[in-house]
Structure 1
Amino acid sequence: MAGRLYTYAFLADCVPFYPVYALVFADAGVSPAGISALFALWSAASFLVEIPSGVWADVVSRRLLVILAPLLEAAGYALWIIVPEFWSFAAGFVLLGAGTALRSGTLQALVYAELDRIGAAGAYARLSGRAQAFGGAAELFATALAAPLIAAGGNRLVGVCSVLALLACAAAGRALPGTPRRGTCGPAEPAPDGQGSDDQGAGDGERGQLATLRTGLGVVRRSAVVRRVLLLTATLTGVAALDEYLPLLARGTGAGQGLVPLLVLAVTAGSTVGGLLAGRGVRWLGPALAAAAVLLAVGAGTGLPVGIVGVAAAFGIFYWALAQADARLQDRVDDSVRATVSSISGAAMEAVAILTFGLYAAGSAWLSPRWLFAAAALPCLLLAVAAGRPPIGRPGPDR
């Protein structure tokens, strides 16, 4: 399954529209305020669909949803190509947000369930981290591809290639396994003869989507361990969301215009390495987060280009820790509500990321980017202390 998962992850992020869509909007006459409104709509759509999509994934085919996700995103980009106007950009972002939400918790649940079925659940963090690294590599490749595509055929060719990549991603999703459901409390357990599968529908009729949502929320409410993991992932995501401001941090070091992209690339490379190392050194989560806090504060606080090396190392640890936290969450939940709980985590992560953007915008009135990045070391230190408490490892799932 590893090769199929990596292919899916690569194609999902191999979208050359990413580095140019803001320019497409501006060329269509959308104001900076309008562009900000579009980004806010994107985040809002993803947040609103996140939990319902997780519930849906626990009562219908998970593989079906990971196929539908890139198709929705492809439709959004196609709309932008065909009708480059504000209303189509807004509709496209709703489709993109829905696609992102459909994939997030669903893919995690599908992968973990298949690994658990073959007795390899311990490999989840490694596979998840490497899939994340393949996605990061795809973003780098797509960014490099955007310029020659624009030269050859303009923004329309960039859009067409983005749509084709996502259609290929949907095809790759079809190759992912449809794992029979397992669990003692779920709406989608396999039939007694073992013939039920992930592709065979909604499970028993006695438990609907609301019952699944209540069960998933009950897991979060009753389990202190699950709540701690959710807090860990949400806070890490809030800090990692600062990567949107990396160009500002790099420029604030006094680096020339040509050096800024290279400094941002260094941080992206650090994040990719962190994903590749996922599954290793699990017991060092607390000390690693403490080290990341120091690296972030010192690296950003220097205000020098060389300090970006420390920032890159810190982001590598953040993404490594995110993969570890995701694995711990999957270990603790029953398969019948796995996608639901994963999507609750995704919604929390999205909310904290939006909060981070708001805090950065407010703080930027008084502080430069380097001090805003350095201030983000404080929640990292708090996480390091929390992670040093008794382990939240691998006993049976919470129900």
Structure 2
Amino acid sequence: MSASLYAYAFLDDFVLLYPVYALLFSDTGLSVWQISSLFALWSITGVVLEVPSGAWADAVSRRLLLWLGPLLTAVGFALWVLVPSYWAFAAGFVLWGTRGALGSGALEALVYEELERLGAADRYAHVMGRSHAAGLVAVMAAMGLAGPVFAWGGFPAVGAASVLACLASAAVATRFPEHRAPKEGGGEGWAVTLKAGLAEVRRERSLRGAILLVPAASAVWGALDEYTPLLVRDTGVSEARVPYLLLLIWAGATAGSLLAGRCERLGRRGLAWLLGGAAVALAAGALAGTPLALGLVGLAFGGFQLATVLADVRLQQRIEDTGRATLTSVAGLGTELATVAVYAGYAAIEAGAGHGTAFALFAAPYLLTALLLAARRSPG
């Protein structure tokens, strides 16, 4: 299963449209307000569908959702380059947001339960860490290839490459093993599954804490990564050097993913030190305003990526066999909501203080999370 998972993770993020789709929107004549409304639509789609899709994954086949999602994204990307217009872009973002919701929860649940079936649940952190690393390597590869492909064939070429990556991702997903049978009642049972999952959250205090830790670890830096090109440019480098410094930052995040297996046994206090240290590195690197200091931002992103994987590990270990995708999606909903809040807060802060200050101030939630983890008296 590991080889299929890593290939799926790579292909899912090997999208050459990523570095240039904002240019496509602008060249089509969209205003900044219209582009912002597309991002909002993307986020809202994920918020609305996150938990229901997780319940659906528990009620039917998780593998089904994992190959269906990339096909939806392929349709969306094709619309963007074939009929570029505001409404085509909006439809594409709805399809992309739906794809994200379908995969969130379903992938983690499938991987954990298949490893558990093989008696290898203790390898979950190692496997998922490598999976995240494969995705990050794909992002960096897409950044490097988008320029030459765009120069050769423009938006149609990068769009076609992105559609092919989605189709390949869907094909790989059909190879995932899945030994659980769909629940009786099929798709009609998703509401019952959702109700049972939420009832478990209300009963189990440790499960609630594990669910809250996922957005606390992942939401802020996951939103900040959208602004890293602007932070890099503010250090005074030429635009031609921006992609290379972005690669430095994402190399840090990739290293964090690869360390997940070794750090799986990091306890509550260890996780608190990890988040606190990464927060300090983020603030220092962002405020310094120099290209060299961006290495600290990369170090911080590595810490946050590691904490994100470990938070998912803690959650999976606290979920009973039933409702795993549902409860993982509840955590995903928290991440989506927190991400939207970060987008809004960042815009307000940056308008008056600049990108470096905004990044530094958003280190504060991680310091708060670290303090709360250190102060808890309960074990692990």
- Pick the TM interval, shorter chain: over 0.9
Query: Aligned ranges for residues 244-283 of structure 1 at < 5 Å?
Result: 244-281=226-263, 282-283=266-267
Q: How far, CA to CA, are the matches of 1:122 and 1:386 in structure 2?
A: 26
Partner of 2:68: 68
Query: Aligned ranges for residues 177-192 of structure 1 at < 5 Å?
Result: 177-180=177-180
Partner of 1:359: 345
Does the CA-based 8 Å contact 2:60-2:187 persist in structure 1? no
Greater helix proportion: 2
- 1:10 maps to 2:15: no
2:2 maps to amino acid = A
Partner of 2:166: 166
- 1:316 maps to 2:302: yes
Q: Which of 205, 221, 224 is 1:224 aligned to?
A: 205
Change (3 A) 1:130 1:390: farther
1:275 maps to amino acid = S
Does the CA-based 8 Å contact 1:109-1:335 persist in structure 2? no
Does the CA-based 8 Å contact 2:281-2:297 persist in structure 1? yes
Q: Relative to structure 2, which stretch is displaced further, 139-148 or 67-76?
A: 139-148
Q: Which of 216, 223, 227 is 1:235 aligned to?
A: 216
Q: How far, CA to CA, are the matches of 1:117 and 1:237 in structure 2?
A: 28
Pairwise CA distance, 1:205: 7.3
What is the DSSP-based 3-state SS (H/G/I as helix, E as strand, rest coil) of the residue aligned with 1:15?
A: coil
Q: Which of 283, 292, 307 is 1:306 aligned to?
A: 292
1:244 maps to amino acid = E
CA-to-partner distance for each residue in 1:305-351, whole Å, 9 max, x for gaps? 22111111111000000000001101111222000001111111011
Structure 1 segments unaligned to the other structure (5+ residues): 181-196, 394-399
Change (3 A) 1:205 1:20: closer
- 1:213 maps to 2:194: yes
Partner of 1:27: 27
Pairwise CA distance, 1:209: 1.8
TM-score by length of 1: 0.90
Partner of 1:327: 313
Partner of 2:81: 81
Change (3 A) 1:78 1:222: same
Q: How far, CA to CA, are the matches of 1:392 and 1:139 in structure 2?
A: 37
Pairwise CA distance, 1:392: 6.2
Q: How far, CA to CA, are the matches of 1:206 and 1:20 in structure 2?
A: 38
2:216 maps to amino acid = T
Change (3 A) 1:87 1:318: same
Q: Relative to structure 2, which stretch is displaced further, 214-223 or 338-347?
A: 214-223
Q: Percent identity?
A: 48
Q: Relative to structure 2, which stretch is displaced further, 273-282 or 67-76?
A: 273-282
What is the DSSP-based 3-state SS (H/G/I as helix, E as strand, rest coil) of the residue aligned with 2:199?
A: helix
What is the DSSP-based 3-state SS (H/G/I as helix, E as strand, rest coil) of the residue aligned with 1:84?
A: coil
1:297 maps to amino acid = A
Pairwise CA distance, 1:222: 1.9
Does the CA-based 8 Å contact 2:69-2:102 persist in structure 1? yes
Q: Relative to structure 2, which stretch is displaced further, 89-98 or 233-242?
A: 233-242
The CA RMSD over aligned residues, in Å, is 1.7
CA-to-partner distance for each residue in 1:179-210, whole Å, 9 max, x for gaps? 22xxxxxxxxxxxxxxxx3xxx4435798222
Q: How far, CA to CA, are the matches of 2:322 and 2:30 in structure 1?
A: 45
Q: How far, CA to CA, are the matches of 2:186 and 2:45 in structure 1?
A: 29
What is the DSSP-based 3-state SS (H/G/I as helix, E as strand, rest coil) of the residue aligned with 2:239?
A: coil
Change (3 A) 1:66 1:226: same
Q: How far, CA to CA, are the matches of 1:3 and 1:335 in structure 2?
A: 24
Q: How far, CA to CA, are the matches of 2:378 and 2:178 in structure 1?
A: 32
Pairwise CA distance, 1:31: 1.5
Q: How far, CA to CA, are the matches of 1:297 and 1:60 in structure 2?
A: 44
Q: How far, CA to CA, are the matches of 1:75 and 1:392 in structure 2?
A: 47
- 1:340 maps to 2:322: no
Count, aligned residues? 374
2:34 maps to amino acid = G
Partner of 2:359: 373
Q: How far, CA to CA, are the matches of 1:264 and 1:206 in structure 2?
A: 43
Partner of 1:194: none
2:239 maps to amino acid = Q
Superposition misfits of 4+ residues, deviation over 4 angstroms: 204-207, 390-393
What is the DSSP-based 3-state SS (H/G/I as helix, E as strand, rest coil) of the residue aligned with 1:258?
A: helix
Q: How far, CA to CA, are the matches of 1:272 and 1:349 in structure 2?
A: 20
Does the CA-based 8 Å contact 2:217-2:308 persist in structure 1? yes
Q: How far, CA to CA, are the matches of 2:59 and 2:14 in structure 1?
A: 30
TM-score by length of 2: 0.94
